[in-house]
Structures are given as structure tokens and as C-alpha cells.
Chain A
Amino acid sequence: ETGVTQSPTHLIKTRGQQVTLRCSSQSGHNTVSWYQQALGQGPQFIFQYYREEENGRGNFPPRFSGLQFPNYSSELNVNALELDDSALYLCASSFPPGLGEETQYFGPGTRLLVL
């Protein structure tokens, strides 16, 4: 069984740039959720993808966008980077929503630093 993988592990960008983070879900899972974890805080939900469509969104601006591919992998795109976007970005995969078994299994995260 393959776990959740994310790439890259670390990334440094400057303000105003754009970034793409990638995630491959655990085998058997077709739902992917993205979280932002600022230093010293718990993860904050960004959005979830199921069947290649956004299936829920947290309190994040539209410059945070995503994609899900037919193989269930996913991308998180952030445009016009701001200093406050510096954080650990976590991807989690799970079974589909509504089935009553939605345990989130997390990847190792991507550490983004915006200068």
C-alpha cells in the first residue's frame, strides 16, 4: 500500500510569484484535501477535491486554487504569493465524503517560504 506523497519538500519563493504543490493520494483513496499549517498552529482547511471537482472550501481567497486528475493526484496553486503564505502545506487523502469513513491520511508536507 502506497502512502500519501508530496512534492517538493521545500520551496522558496518571492512575493508576487506563483507556486504549484503536488500530491499523490494513498492507494484506494479518491478524495484529496489540502491544509495550511502556520508555525505553531493546527492545520487550516483550504479545500477538498473529489471526482476532479472542488468539494468544499475553507476561508481562503481565490488565489488559492487546485486541480485533481483522473488518477486522483492533486495540485495546489497559489498566485500572487504573500509573506503570510509561508507555511507547511499538507495534503491528505481519504475515502469519498458521505460514506461515514473519512479518516484523513496525511503526506509529509511541503514547507513554503515566501521572501
Chain B
Amino acid sequence: AQTVTQSQPEMSVQEAETVTLSCTYDTSESNYYLFWYKQPPSRQMILVIRQEAYKQQNATENRFSVNFQKAAKSFSLKISDSQLGDTAMYFCASPSNSGNTPLVFGKGTRLSVIA
């Protein structure tokens, strides 16, 4: 079965510091998007950033950036200048090898930002 692996169940970071969340995936698709979603205690899954696999340049959205290593099938999320509002579950998602499933999610990393 296809898997998305987030090897860090929990992480914590001091406010204003930088933290990196890791993710590996195993899609066999040749052209695809990868996603990081944030789920705060309010439950709504919010898109943080996405990466197009055919682009070599790593995606950046304000304080959020990715380190995309296509050959290694690695897709880590870096959060700079961490803020208290960044406290949430973070999920990595990749396309499925099955054409019938849009996305496969990892089990998530719980990030706590400490004042």
C-alpha cells in the first residue's frame, strides 16, 4: 500500500525560531503536486503550501518553505520565525498511485510553538 511517512509525531519550537518537519512519500506518478496542510484545534484543514514536482525551485509562502528532493521522494516543511498561531497538526499529502484516490495523507506531526 502506498504510504506517506511523517517520522516526527510531535515537535516543539520556541517562538521566533525555525523548525523543519519531515515527510517522505512513494508515489509512482511522474508529474504531481505535493501538499502540506495545517489543522489547528478548530479542525479545519488549511493548505499551507504546495510543490509542483516538475519544478526544481522549492516553493515558498511567506514564512513557510519546502525542501523538495524528488529523487529521494522527500518533502520537508520549514517554518521560519515561528509564531504561537503555528501551533497545530501538520499533514503531508501526496497523490495516490491509484487513479481513483486524489490524495494520501501522512499521520501528521503535532507542532507546539512555545512562548
List chain A positions with a Cβ less than 8 A from chain B: 33, 40-45, 48, 55-58, 88, 90, 92, 94, 97, 100-109, 111
Contacts and interface: CB of A to CB of B under 8 A. Distances in A.
A80 B37 CA distance: 32
Given A106-B45, A108-B43, A42 B107 contact: yes
A58 B101 contact: yes
Q: B interface, by DSSP: helix, strand, loop or mixed? A: loop
Contacts of B105: 42-44
10 contacts: A43-B45, A43-B103, A45-B104, A56-B100, A57-B100, A88-B43, A103-B33, A104-B103, A106-B46, A109-B45
Nearest to A54: B100
Contact of A45 (B4, B37, B42, B101): B101
A111 B42 CA distance: 11
B107 to A, nearest CB: 5
Nearest to A105: B47
B50 A103 contact: yes
B28 to A, nearest CB: 17
Given A102-B33, A109-B44, A94 B102 contact: yes
B35 A103 contact: yes
Given A42-B107, A42-B108, A97 B102 contact: yes
